[in-house]
Amino acid sequence: MTTIRDVAKKAGVSVATVSRFLNGSGYVSADAAKAVTEAVEELEYELNPVARSLNTKRSNLIGLILPDITNPFFPELARAVEDVALSYGYTVILCNSDEDPKKEKNYIESLKKKYIAGFIVTSNQLDAPHYANTKLPIVALDRAINEKVPVVSSNNKEGAILGTNALLERGCRNILFLRGPEALNPANDRHDGFMEAIGKAGADHRVVTCPFQYAESQKIAERELRNDPGIDGIFASSDVSAAGALKAAVLLGRKVPDDLQIVGFDGIAMGEMLSPGLSTVAQDVYKMGAIATRVLIKRIENKPVEESFYEIPVKLILRGTTRSVE
Amino acid sequence: MTTIRDVAKKAGVSVATVSRFLNGSGYVSADAAKAVTEAVEELEYELNPVARSLNTKRSNLIGLILPDITNPFFPELARAVEDVALSYGYTVILCNSDEDPKKEKNYIESLKKKYIAGFIVTSNQLDAPHYANTKLPIVALDRAINEKVPVVSSNNKEGAILGTNALLERGCRNILFLRGPEALNPANDRHDGFMEAIGKAGADHRVVTCPFQYAESQKIAERELRNDPGIDGIFASSDVSAAGALKAAVLLGRKVPDDLQIVGFDGIAMGEMLSPGLSTVAQDVYKMGAIATRVLIKRIENKPVEESFYEIPVKLILRGTTRSVE
DNA sequence: AGGTTTTGTGTAACCGGTTACACATACTAT
DNA sequence: ATAGTATGTGTAACCGGTTACACAAAACCT
């Protein structure tokens, strides 16, 4: 392996000059620059990032902490993070936290020892005191940690209004809202949006808390549909819940979208595979990940960050679980 | 930050002794061990992995190279890899290759500089010459690189026989097989299995190549179903293709499973959300990832590896797209 | 001309570990 | 008693970079 000393010798300069040239720090004459460039070329020198890390106490590692990559929401996020990180020369470390603060803390501490450059943290938990102490650059998705940590999230409230109105405009007068867990910021924002839209329209409605899990959602939807056969619309706070509701409706023999219309939230790929295809309020997950990563890298590189709150617009996608509006 | 020198001073021994104790290498007396243990405790010393890496030229980083984490097959795999890696003290780096050999090569070379410990490589491409040169431990999923690289894969042929027989046993006499791309090992094994089972039964059949993509699969299935209304069974080489076929069938008004039965392959979570639920030959993706990681870590740690080929059994999951057998 | 500032470079310490080697002592075997 | 092995420890070089500091030459002042 060729080292910086080999390069220095070949170029007839000192290692300090080589290092300065390579880092663009300090003064280097044109002659020296040329000699170093040539030596690097000839020796096919490549800087050793570990040696560099050891004394700069920096690295190009980014930690991506998420509850579970298996959750259909996260792969696309991870993909975006990795794409952007790669394009800036960073490497992504995958951390499944299972929402367990202990696991999160372990990741943070063990990666800190590797001089990790920063973290992108996705969690459903509202608070996480152990992040507050961390001096490292962090960007959060969907949750506020403190004022100094930039947050990227979807325009959840607007999205819920969009979704609710889609049902109202298509004639729904008795809407079941499958809201997500109270502990989740986004779920609460969506709830606010739903209430606002439904309040304006003055339509009948019912709100039920429902985890973002398929089987459980199906069970809850079935119960609600049995209890109140008059329900003519379901707005679910996640596509997985919507899929459960759709399954329940089909099993109960409810005609979708003729008797019952359904709108989900998230826009995961599965939506189009269902029959009928799931209408949904789609988040631009890729964009969320990409922006979060760009913001993080700006922070890491001490470049100015314009804002500390980024709201990504959502988009209504209409498929077969809603009728066309007359 | 406390260093090994601080510990040495506090314990009244040399740094060499501390290092030997910490690594369990060389001789350390009981007295010295005790003193070092106490000093470590009191100073809350934690070893710096970067400094260690620099001169051992080793690390606890594992590279996970896969085509695209967004593909529903991979999140579970990634999860398994990360779980097992974590339990052995390793850290996982996520690499989306897009099946691009250039990207793969870049990942490998840039991670080599970080003294990465090994790679788990998942790819659909059959060959990858640049892996052959790498001296690093590698474990492959679903593809052979060379004799020295252990391979983990599903029992694809058996699975295809299982899936095909499930259709035959339920009365299918004219089966469409949506086979995957010729370039993929697993797809070819599944094809072999299908041909063997169908040959034994002597049933009518048709084989069509079909990418593992939803929209395309739907189109192909629709075309085939129109061409031959007598098709009473579809065996798809992936669940995504099966989902496309199901959609096509529903849109054409074919009754599933009464007129047409469908079996997929993979066992992704989406299968149960479809209506009717998708019968499928499920791979134990988590297990594949877990085994691959354990084998890799054994190789990294120079422990003996029993085999070089691990075949993970598949499991038939029957849901609504197949009838119950009389 | 002489003083300042800017430009340019090299030496050597340092980041925080590991380990080769030399040396010392204790235990065995003959 | 004596060589030979096992046990135990410390010194210092090394991994491959970065950077503080000292110093020299050139460029810019007034």
A52 touches strand C (CB under 7 A): no
Distances (CA, A) of B159 to B228, B237, B284, B322: 26, 10, 11, 16
Determine the Cα–Cα distance for residues B17 and B32; give it in Å rounded to an integer.
Answer: 8
Reading the block at residue A302, the tokens are 């001490």
Q: What residues in A contact B50, CB-CB < 8 Å?
A: 50, 53-54, 59, 113-115
Helix, strand counts (H, E) of chain A? 12, 12
In the numeric block, the tokens 């085939």 are attached to B224
End-to-end CA distance of chain B: 72
Residue by residue, DSSP assigns B282-322 as: E--HHHHHHHHHHHHHHHHTT-----SEEEEPPEEE--TTS
* Residue with CA nearest to D12's C1' atom: B16
Reading the block at residue B189, the tokens are 């094994």
DSSP 3-state of A167: helix
Determine the Cα–Cα distance for residues A125 and A97; give it in Å rounded to an integer.
Answer: 11
Determine the Cα–Cα distance for residues B104 and B129; give it in Å rounded to an integer.
Answer: 11
Average pLDDT (B168-176) is 97
| Helices B285-300 and B74-87, axial angle in degrees (round to 10) | 40
- Tell me if B70 and A93 make a contact (CB, 8 A cut-off): no
pLDDT of residue B142: 87
10 Å CB burial of residue A29 (0-12, 13-18, 19+) is exposed
Residue of A nearest to B91 (CA): A93
Nucleotides of chain D within 7 Å of a protein C-beta? 7-12, 14-21
- Tell me if B68 and A78 make a contact (CB, 8 A cut-off): no
Which of B94, B110, B247 has the CB atom closest to A92's CB atom?
B94
Average pLDDT across chain B, whole number = 94
- Tell me if B69 and A54 make a contact (CB, 8 A cut-off): no
- Contact at 8 Å (CB) between A124 and A284? no
Candidates A113, A95, A117; CA nearest to A104 is: A95
In order of their start, the domains of chain B are 4-47 (1.10.260.40), 61-154+286-312 (3.40.50.2300), 156-283 (3.40.50.2300)
Q: What residues in A contact B83, CB-CB < 8 Å?
A: 96
- Tell me if B273 and A270 make a contact (CB, 8 A cut-off): yes
B13 Cβ contact list (under 8 Å, min separation 6): B32, B35, B36
Helix, strand counts (H, E) of chain B? 12, 12
Q: pLDDT by residue (tens digit) across B231-271?
A: 999 999 999 999 999 999 999 999 999 999 999 999 999 99
Closest nucleotide to A2: CA versus each C1': D16
Nucleotides of chain C within 7 Å of a protein C-beta? 7-12, 14-21
Residues of A engaging B, defined by a Cβ cutoff of 8 Å: 46-51, 53-54, 59, 64, 68-70, 72, 74-76, 78-79, 82-83, 91-96, 110-111, 113-115, 214, 240, 243-244, 246-247, 250, 269-270, 272-275
Closest nucleotide to A55: CA versus each C1': C15
Candidates A88, A300, A91; CA nearest to B110 is: A91
| Interface test mutation site (partner A, options B273, B275, B286, max chain A beta carbons within 10 A) | B273
CA of B26 to C1' of D4 (A): 20
Which of B82, B269, B273 has the CB atom closest to A94's CB atom?
B82
Closest nucleotide to A57: CA versus each C1': C15
10 Å CB burial of residue B106 (0-12, 13-18, 19+) is middle
Peptide bond into A257 cis (omega under 30): yes
* Residue with CA nearest to D9's C1' atom: B17
10 Å CB burial of residue B115 (0-12, 13-18, 19+) is buried
Q: What residues in B contact A78, CB-CB < 8 Å?
A: 69, 94
Q: How far is A102 from chain B (nearest CA, A)?
A: 14
A10 touches strand D (CB under 7 A): no
Reading the block at residue A293, the tokens are 């990563």
| Interface test mutation site (partner A, options B275, B280, B293, max chain A beta carbons within 10 A) | B275
Reading the block at residue A10, the tokens are 């070949």
pLDDT of residue A261: 98
Q: What are phi and psi of A103, to 5 degrees?
A: -65, -45
Determine the Cα–Cα distance for residues B183 and A149; give it in Å rounded to an integer.
Answer: 46
Distances (CA, A) of A80 to A77, A281, A292, B94, B192: 5, 20, 9, 12, 37
Tens-of-pLDDT digits for all 326 residues of chain A? 899 999 999 999 999 999 999 999 999 999 999 999 999 999 999 999 999 999 999 999 999 999 999 998 899 999 999 999 999 999 999 999 998 989 999 999 999 999 999 999 987 665 655 666 678 999 999 887 788 899 999 999 999 999 999 999 999 999 999 999 998 889 999 999 999 999 999 999 999 999 999 999 999 999 999 999 999 999 999 999 999 999 999 999 999 999 999 999 999 999 999 999 999 999 999 999 999 999 999 999 999 888 889 999 999 999 999 999 86
Q: What residues in B contact A120, CB-CB < 8 Å?
A: none
Determine the Cα–Cα distance for residues B236 and B210; give it in Å rounded to an integer.
Answer: 9
B15 touches strand C (CB under 7 A): yes
CA of A16 to C1' of C9 (A): 8
- Contact at 8 Å (CB) between B180 and B160? no
Which of B47, B75, B94 has the CB atom closest to A82's CB atom?
B94
Q: pLDDT by residue (tens digit) across B126-168?
A: 565 566 667 899 999 988 778 889 999 999 999 999 999 999 9
Q: pTM for the full model?
A: 0.94
B313 Cβ contact list (under 8 Å, min separation 6): B154, B155, B158, B284
Determine the Cα–Cα distance for residues B172 and B163; give it in Å rounded to an integer.
Answer: 12
Determine the Cα–Cα distance for residues B75 and B285; give it in Å rounded to an integer.
Answer: 9
Q: What residues in A contact B272, CB-CB < 8 Å?
A: 214
CA of B307 to C1' of D21 (A): 59
Determine the Cα–Cα distance for residues A126 and A137; give it in Å rounded to an integer.
Answer: 19
Determine the Cα–Cα distance for residues B89 and A98; give it in Å rounded to an integer.
Answer: 17
- Tell me if A76 and B91 make a contact (CB, 8 A cut-off): no
What's chain B's Rg over C-alpha atoms?
26
Greatest distance between any 2 Cα atoms in chain B: 86
